[in-house]
Copies of this chain bind each other. A is one copy, B any other.
Amino acid sequence: MTIGHRCWAIAEGYIPGDSFSEEPEFVSHETACILNAGGRDADIEITIYFEDREPCGPYRVSVPARRTVHLRFNDLEDPEPVPRDTDYASVIASTEPIVVQHTRLDSRHPNVALLSAMAHPVA
């Protein structure tokens, strides 16, 4: 059984620039949770879209067979970091079927806020 799709889109994207704590689990962040339940490693390319300039990418990440990677957009560095306090969106393309879910933890105030949505399966 094939689990997932090879291309997903997330229209929401916003990393709050502030955090009440510097502990990694409490730093404001956005995550693309990627599940590769199949038997082959997945090579993944992420493109980031902005409001007022050309898209940026591809950012490359691998998710091995039968593994999940909860990728923080905060940690993307190459070709450039994802700017904070800036609206963006993303498209996630994979060589193998994957499942993608989007989560934000907003810790600008000490009681965190959370949101999550399954990404939109494109193809």
Contacts and interface: CB of A to CB of B under 8 A. Distances in A.
**Copies of the polypeptide in the assembly:** 4
Interface in A89-123: 89, 91, 98-104, 106, 108-123
A112 B109 CA distance: 8
A67 B16 CA distance: 20
A85 interface: yes
Please name the 8 residue pairs, one residue from A and one from B, whose CB atoms are nearest each other, closest first: A68-B89, A11-B101, A115-B116, A35-B89, A11-B33, A114-B115, A70-B87, A111-B111
13 contacts: A4-B9, A4-B122, A11-B33, A12-B31, A13-B33, A14-B70, A35-B89, A37-B47, A49-B67, A51-B67, A51-B68, A112-B113, A116-B116
